[in-house]
Amino acid sequence: MKQAPEKKPFNKRAFISTALWVSGLSLPFTGFMNHYFQYDVLTLERHFWMSAHDIAGILFVIFSLLHISYNWRVLVSYAVKSKEMLISKETLTAIIFVILIVGLFSSHAFHIDK
């Protein structure tokens, strides 16, 4: 007689990581669509994309906090080890890259005629 396969327990870490990834991926797309409809009066489409972007952002924050709490020991261990070294070139490059891209894409707001 065959035994039934053993059920695996629900993996909370995998769920949180996947939800964080999906909500994070949806933010740029919903933000772009929100930007696309920005000059419309509050149409159904604009309201939809605003709501989708807002809830994706809220979920991203919630799942980020859960991700940090589930991986706290690893993060603390990494922080303790990184005290001994200076900022790596990869970290510095990533920081500069993100600041430049965010600055470049958001600076267009200063060039709009009122």
Work out the percent of the chain whose per-residue pLDDT is above 90: 49
Q: Which of 5-9, 15-19, 106-110 has the weakest average pLDDT?
A: 106-110
Q: Which residues contact 12 (CB under 8 A, 6 or more apart)?
A: 70
Query: CA 79 to CA 22: how far, in whole Å?
Result: 26
Query: Nearest-5° angle of CA 94, CA 60, CA 102?
Result: 35
Is 57 in contact with 27 (CB distance < 8 Å)? Answer: yes
Q: Check whether 112 has a pLDDT greater than 80.
A: no
- Write down the pLDDT at residue 53: 94
- Write down the pLDDT at residue 106: 82
Copy the structure tokens of residue 114: 């009122």
Region for residue 9 given its phi and psi (left: phi exceeds 0; alpha: psi -120 to 50; beta: otherwise): beta
Whether the model clears a pTM of 0.85, i.e. scores above it, the answer is no
Q: Check whether 85 has a pLDDT greater than 90.
A: no
Q: What is the average pLDDT across 5-10?
A: 85
